[in-house]
Amino acid sequence: MKTTINMETAEVAKWVEWLADFGRTANDGVTRLLYDDVWQAAQSALKTKMDECGLRTYFDGVGNLFGRLPGTEEQEKAILTGSHIDTVVDGGKYDGAYGIIASLLAVHYLYQQHGLPKKTIEVVSLCEEEGSRFPLAFWGSGSITGKFNMEDSADLCDANSIPFHEAMKQAGFPPAGKSAVRDDIASFIEVHIEQGAVLEKEKQSVGIATHIVGQRRFNIKVSGESNHAGTTPMSYRKDSMHIASELIAYALNRASKVDDSLVATVGKLTVSPNVPNVIPNEVIFTLDVRHHEESTLAQYCRTIFAYFEEFCAKKDAGLEIEQWVDVKPVQMDQELIGLSDAILKDMSIPYRKMISGAGHDSQMFGTYCPTALFFVPSKNGISHSPLEYTEAEDLKNGVIVLIEMLYRMAY
Amino acid sequence: MKTTINMETAEVAKWVEWLADFGRTANDGVTRLLYDDVWQAAQSALKTKMDECGLRTYFDGVGNLFGRLPGTEEQEKAILTGSHIDTVVDGGKYDGAYGIIASLLAVHYLYQQHGLPKKTIEVVSLCEEEGSRFPLAFWGSGSITGKFNMEDSADLCDANSIPFHEAMKQAGFPPAGKSAVRDDIASFIEVHIEQGAVLEKEKQSVGIATHIVGQRRFNIKVSGESNHAGTTPMSYRKDSMHIASELIAYALNRASKVDDSLVATVGKLTVSPNVPNVIPNEVIFTLDVRHHEESTLAQYCRTIFAYFEEFCAKKDAGLEIEQWVDVKPVQMDQELIGLSDAILKDMSIPYRKMISGAGHDSQMFGTYCPTALFFVPSKNGISHSPLEYTEAEDLKNGVIVLIEMLYRMAY
């Protein structure tokens, strides 16, 4: 196939707006939560669109929507492409939704231009990724890849105390229904907004993910002694705020020194008693650490926690470190990275390889089948906000790359 | 007078407990707020006690209670001794109350042993010091010394929206009544618990205050940029938590290096948006700085704020520094310090000179008349808490020193 693909620049943006109508908020953001009314309406409308495009549509047992274009030569395994339909509360129009639109438009284009592929392609609108209604993320991709089953969601309730399985049933997916697990997926291709500012700052149109980072999150509690701010000399103090400030500065400074890819964030901090004239007896803060190599994550955590221990021991202060997230890094498929590389060079689209610092459905698929993940730029790196925005040109570029990729893989 | 004073060790503690019955809480703490029912009952009971001791009692216009022992030679000016009757909510039994009891017992003892003094002595139960019902501290001592007048309290309301002047009137002190200002006070002598742990740690029975510190308090706002904790490389960040941790560590480390007397506290800190996986765009923290020399306070603040400015400029982050407390340091009277020194040496009571890191009524009197302030130890330095405690022996020591002091000044 020639690398010139005819598509109006405004085309993709128009379809993104169409999907944003399902759950659009007063701020021009989107709230579309797993199994709720607008979620049902969006999946139903997408099914109609897929039908109109000539795809064979069906839902699995958990509400993932598929649109199948059967291969003429290989039907057993499918190339799966898509992203997730759910959003965070008052989130953006692009996160997840863009990937579904991109896949649908790409497959529609290919079918119109070239007819049926040799290998089966399926577009997927994954039911859930964000964990924003129930405390369970990656429900869609996790169910397909067998990483989650009904037991994992059995005890969960949303903020209104509606049980997960009740919400499933109300949306037309009884938990006792058919399984969502698949063993017939050849590969997974996802297009997504970057949700960061690297492409924009470096003036690149497309990012090829080489890895999705591993994440570790911790709650760190520093226990000192509350005392009067006026009558306690500095040398008598066991000031948990003072100690915490030293630990935070150390951890974040150290992160910059490891390599360009390691990121560490102290996003949440609480002080007790939190009164201006009382020395705090307790500071609790979170530490979120991400890198694409498990060994680097482990080494960084060992180094800073050794420092934390030593520092608190020297100050005779208490230290508790509790880990509450441990997600392993996932590598994207080398062969698909090579193919992406070749395509982007051929198309003369400015691009870079990069590491995904955010989690995506591709991380569920990455350990299950060959997986590729592309990014398009996010304006100012903003995401999970009504201000989330990607230029129409960039939206189109992502679709064009996906068309070429699917063409080379399936035709 | 001989420096042996006969007094049962348990005597003073017994009277402290008696006064604690007015407002005693379930935790064995005390809540006695300006002009409330238990405050009225306590002042009334103290008046009766003073009457029984042979003192001439009267209230001034704001509710300060005086018990006068007239001098045989000098009646125009009075040596005033006492402390404040009000407490914080669920505070301790000793803060303020002990100073009133100590003064009453000391004057009673002197009158019984030696009859009328040459110079007039007055015991005072000051109506208010804590600022815990209305947002105005030192109302009692400030009214006597002319630092406050009715206008200063006119617009204040308590947490139940009761106006200050309404509360005064209900307690029997109509705001339009007689003035509280005095011009006949020769000196002020206060005994108080330390509210810190210096005397206890250094095994001293009595502290002679040489100064009451000046205080400056600030709100410091660091403004950065909120971004995704995963997709924003360290070098792209404007992380207000990272910056704030560096500023706090610098300010508190610097405080230790100035001299032993400077204290700095970051007691309160708030983070926005305070979410584990979002880089904070704003951190606001308080800084409380105290020292007994205005020049040292000024120099310290200049140094750290210059560092803050430079650091934030380098990080391209916003910085706002707002000062909301500026209390000048006050020196206690040199002659009275010399007298105290001699007395404690004569009595062989272990003591030290020290700086008061907390505010006391003595700081209102200190710029108005020669003033002396003594401390007795606070167990574990705890104050403003039901756990506030001073050993009976220490309580007695404070009274004995006060007896000797008043004897040498007035007899």
Closest CA to B361 of B351, B369, B352: B369
Q: Are B278 and B229 in contact (CB under 8 A)?
A: yes
Q: What is the CATH number of domain A9-212+329-410?
A: 3.40.630.10
Best mutation target, A228, A246, A325, A327, to test chain B (most B CBs within 10 A):
A228
Q: Is B397's pLDDT higher than 60?
A: yes
Closest CA to A65 of A30, A103, A26, A93: A103
Please give the C-alpha separations between residue B119 and each of B187, B203, B268, in angstroms, as whole numbers. Answer: 11, 35, 48
Architecture in CATH for domain A214-327: 2-Layer Sandwich (3.30)
B385 burial level (CB within 10 Å; 0-12, 13-18, 19+): middle
d(CA A65, CA A140): 10
Residue B90: Cβ within 10 Å count: 16
CB contact under 8 A, B249 and A249: yes
Q: Among 3.90.1300.10, 3.30.160.270, 3.40.630.10, 3.40.390.10, name the CATH number for the domain at B9-212+330-410.
A: 3.40.630.10
**In this predicted model, what pLDDT tens digit does every residue of A148-205 receive, in sequence order?**
999 999 999 999 999 999 999 999 999 998 889 999 999 999 999 999 999 999 999 9
Beta-bridge mates of residue A368 = none
Q: Is B2's pLDDT higher than 60?
A: no
The whole-angstrom distance between B252's CA and the closest CA on chain A is 7
Mean pLDDT, all residues of chain B:
96
d(CA A82, CA A80): 7
**In this predicted model, what pLDDT tens digit does every residue of B73-97 receive, in sequence order?**
988 899 999 999 999 999 999 999 9
From chain B, the residues in CB contact with A196 under 8 A are 227-228, 230-232
Please give the C-alpha separations between residue A250 and each of A234, B247, B305, in angstroms, as whole numbers. Answer: 21, 13, 21
CB contact under 8 A, A196 and B248: no
Please give the C-alpha separations between residue B387 and each of A195, A225, B195, B390, B397, in angstroms, as whole numbers. Answer: 52, 15, 11, 10, 21
Query: For A228, which of B245, B269, B381 is closest by C-beta distance?
Result: B381
Written as one letter, the residue type at A29 is G
B209 conformational bin, left if phi > 0, alpha if psi -120 to 50, beta if neither: beta
CB contact under 8 A, A265 and B279: yes
From chain A, the residues in CB contact with B323 under 8 A are none
Taking the mean position of all CA atoms in its chain, how far away is CA A22?
A: 21
pLDDT tens series, chain A, 411 aa: 445 788 899 999 999 999 999 999 999 999 999 999 999 999 999 999 999 999 999 999 999 999 999 999 988 899 999 999 999 999 999 999 999 999 999 999 999 999 999 999 999 999 999 998 998 999 999 999 999 999 999 999 999 999 999 999 999 999 998 889 999 999 999 999 999 999 999 999 999 999 999 999 999 999 999 889 999 999 999 999 999 999 999 999 999 999 999 999 999 999 999 989 899 999 999 999 999 999 999 999 999 999 999 999 999 999 999 998 999 999 999 999 999 999 999 999 999 999 999 999 999 999 999 999 999 999 999 998 999 999 999 999 999 999 999 999 999
DSSP state of B324: E
Instruction: Give the mean model confidence (pLDDT) for residues B1-18.
Output: 84
Q: Is B3's pLDDT higher than 90?
A: no
Query: For B197, which of A213, A236, A256 is closest by C-beta distance?
Result: A236
Q: Are B350 and B336 in contact (CB under 8 A)?
A: no
CB contact under 8 A, A234 and B262: yes
Please give the C-alpha separations between residue B210 and each of A227, A244, B363, in angstroms, as whole numbers. Answer: 22, 34, 11
B-chain residue closest to A195, CA distance: B231
For strands A214-223 and A282-291, give the pairing.
antiparallel
Written as one letter, the residue type at A120 is T
CB contact under 8 A, A268 and B252: no
From chain B, the residues in CB contact with A275 under 8 A are 267-268
Query: For B357, which of A201, A228, A384 is closest by C-beta distance?
Result: A228
B-chain residue closest to A382, CA distance: B227
User: Where are the strands (E) in B225-350, listed by range?
Assistant: 227-228, 263-265, 269-272, 278-279, 282-291, 318-327, 330-331
CB contact under 8 A, A267 and B271: yes
CB contact under 8 A, A232 and B381: yes
Instruction: Give the mean model confidence (pLDDT) for residues B254-271.
Output: 96
CB contact under 8 A, B235 and A217: no
Q: Is B285's pLDDT higher than 80?
A: yes
B-chain residue closest to A283, CA distance: B269
The whole-angstrom distance between A280's CA and the closest CA on chain B is 6
Q: Are B366 and B331 in contact (CB under 8 A)?
A: yes
Interface confidence, given as ipTM, is 0.89
Q: In this structure, what are the phi and psi dihedrals at residue B357, rounded to the nearest 5 degrees?
A: -85, -15
Query: For A267, which of B195, B275, B384 is closest by C-beta distance?
Result: B275
Token pair 């960084």 is at which residue? A300
The whole-angstrom distance between B283's CA and the closest CA on chain A is 10
Written as one letter, the residue type at B308 is F
User: Where are the strands (E) in A156-195, listed by range?
Assistant: 185-193
For chain A, the residue count is: 411
**In this predicted model, what pLDDT tens digit does every residue of B339-391 receive, in sequence order?**
999 999 999 999 999 999 999 999 999 999 999 999 999 999 999 899 999 99
**In this predicted model, what pLDDT tens digit does every residue of B296-324 receive, in sequence order?**
999 999 999 999 999 999 999 999 999 98
Query: For B267, which of A267, A268, A279 is closest by C-beta distance?
Result: A279
Please give the C-alpha separations between residue A320 and each of A62, A157, A183, A241, A309, in angstroms, as whole numbers. Answer: 39, 30, 43, 15, 9
CB contact under 8 A, B383 and A255: no
Prediction pTM value? 0.89
For strands B65-69 and B119-126, give the pairing.
antiparallel
Best mutation target, A220, A231, A311, to test chain B (most B CBs within 10 A):
A231
CB contact under 8 A, A245 and B242: no
CB contact under 8 A, A381 and B262: no
The whole-angstrom distance between A150's CA and the closest CA on chain B is 28
SS3 B14: helix
Provide the pLDDT for residue A3: 54
**In chain A, where the domains are located:** 9-212+329-410, 214-327
Query: For B228, which of A196, A235, A266 is closest by C-beta distance?
Result: A196
CB contact under 8 A, B279 and A267: yes
For strands B185-193 and B65-69, give the pairing.
unpaired
DSSP state of B173: -
DSSP state of B91: B
> Mind giving me the DSSP string for A251-297?
HHHHHHHH-TT-EEE---EEEES--TTEE-SEEEEEEEEEES-HHHH
SS3 B19: helix
Q: In this structure, what are the phi and psi dihedrals at residue B212, rounded to the nearest 5 degrees?
A: -110, 130
Cβ contacts of residue A47 below 8 Å, gap of 6+? A57, A59, A65, A67
